[in-house]
């Protein structure tokens, strides 16, 4: 049976994304839970078939830490799932001493967090961990997904506290890098590329972008992450849609691949609800 690595215990958003992916596959999967996103991605080296990685959020943008995992690990993106995200603020007491919140969730609820004077903010690895920590701590509160039910009628709940009501997170479904991937050419596909530019020189970024423009390829985004070797040196993530005739589009990517040190992290489609 295929296995899928998921962050946290049950009821994280990562688990919801996994469920949507599993439903689309229409077969049985064994879910395996990990405490951190790093462990989730690394599990692919230990024989787990798929891994779920939250990658981009409406408020937070691309998650830096998770981009680095895509650079470090030998993975391939095979699908993406976008979920509506909403948080509730749950207090066990009127003036809690501590608030537990997951590190990406925190930046989606800054308005509320800024209003919490004299309260210690403790970041966690997953939303399920925030919930569990609160259960163990009488003098606390937590920021947790609105789908998590709270069964104690004395606890106070403030609903929908994200900084925007239209909050979404995009999750990537990863697998171990395949040698000869086959793509379904009848889909509109998204592509995520990683470019190592090597030595910096004037116009370097322009030279890269020019190659996409010349081939009439419209980019969705370009993001950089430090190489961590030397200050001022970067990896570039480029995302784009392949909308025209797909064999031609793949040909264009192959051409660009010959010009730069480029790694195709994935050519994949979105799973609709």
Ligand X SMILES: O=C(O)C(=O)C[C@]1(C(=O)O)C=C[C@@H](O)C=C1
CB 100 within 8 A of CB 129: yes
126 binds ligand X (CB under 6 A): yes
Phi, psi of 132 (to 5 degrees): -65, -40
134 binds ligand X (CB under 6 A): no
* Residue 123 token pair: 């970041």
Q: Give the residue with the Cβ less far from ligand X, 161 or 262.
A: 161
Q: Give the residue with the Cβ less far from ligand X, 57 or 88.
A: 57
88 binds ligand X (CB under 6 A): no
104 binds ligand X (CB under 6 A): yes
Least Cα distance to 7 among 91, 69, 72, 60 occurs for: 69
Q: How far is the CB of 225 from ligand X (least distance, A)?
A: 17
- Would you mind telling me the total number of residues written for the chain in this entry? 273
Say which DSSP state 136 is in.
H
Span from 72-80, 98-106, 188-196, 229-237 in contact with ligand X (CB under 6 A): 98-106
CB 69 within 8 A of CB 235: no
Q: Give the residue with the Cβ less far from ligand X, 104 or 242.
A: 104
Residues 177-216 that bind ligand X (CB under 6 A): none
- Residue owning tokens 């779920």: 52
Q: Give the residue with the Cβ less far from ligand X, 163 or 257.
A: 163
Q: Give the residue with the Cβ less far from ligand X, 44 or 81.
A: 81
Q: How far is the CB of 255 from ligand X (least distance, A)?
A: 35
96 binds ligand X (CB under 6 A): no
Which residue among 44, 85, 189, 256 contacts ligand X (CB under 6 A)?
85
Span from 12-20, 23-31, 250-258, 263-271 in contact with ligand X (CB under 6 A): 12-20
User: Is the sign of the CA dihedral 204, 210, 215, 216 positive or negative?
Assistant: positive
CB 73 within 8 A of CB 42: yes
Span from 4-12, 23-31, 146-154, 175-183 in contact with ligand X (CB under 6 A): 4-12
Strand locations in the chain (E): 3-7, 30-34, 50-57, 61-62, 75-84, 87-91, 98-102, 120-124, 140-145, 156-158, 168-176, 189-196, 219-226, 234-242, 261-270
**What are the residues binding ligand X (CB under 6 A)?**
7-8, 12-14, 54, 57, 85, 102, 104-105, 126-127, 145, 169
């Amino acid at each position: 049976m295929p296995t899928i690595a998921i962050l946290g215990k049950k009821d994280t958003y990562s688990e919801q994304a996994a469920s949507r992916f599993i439903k689309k596959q229409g077969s049985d999967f064994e879910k395996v839970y990990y405490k951190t996103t790093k462990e989730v991605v690394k599990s692919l080296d230990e024989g787990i078939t798929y891994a779920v990685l939250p990658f981009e959020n409406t408020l937070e943008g691309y998650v830096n830490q998770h981009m680095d995992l895509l650079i470090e690990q030998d993975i391939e993106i095979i699908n993406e799932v976008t979920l509506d995200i909403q948080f509730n603020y749950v207090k066990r007491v009127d003036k809690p001493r501590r608030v537990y919140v997951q590190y990406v969730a925190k930046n989606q609820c800054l308005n509320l967090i800024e209003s919490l004077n004299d309260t210690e903010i403790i970041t966690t690895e997953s939303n399920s961990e925030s919930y569990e920590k609160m259960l163990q701590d009488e003098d606390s509160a937590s920021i947790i997904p609105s789908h998590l039910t709270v069964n104690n009628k004395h606890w106070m709940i403030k609903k929908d506290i994200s900084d925007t009501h239209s909050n979404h997170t995009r999750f990537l479904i990863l697998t171990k890098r395949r040698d000869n991937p086959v793509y379904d050419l009848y889909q509109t596909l998204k592509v995520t590329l990683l470019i190592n530019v090597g030595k910096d020189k004037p116009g370097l970024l322009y030279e890269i972008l020019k190659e996409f423009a010349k081939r009439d390829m419209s980019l969705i985004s370009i993001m950089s992450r430090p190489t961590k070797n030397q200050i001022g040196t970067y990896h570039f993530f480029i995302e784009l849609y392949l909308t025209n005739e797909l064999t031609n589009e793949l040909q264009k990517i192959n051409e660009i691949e010959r010009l730069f040190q480029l790694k195709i992290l994935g050519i994949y489609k979105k799973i609709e609800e």
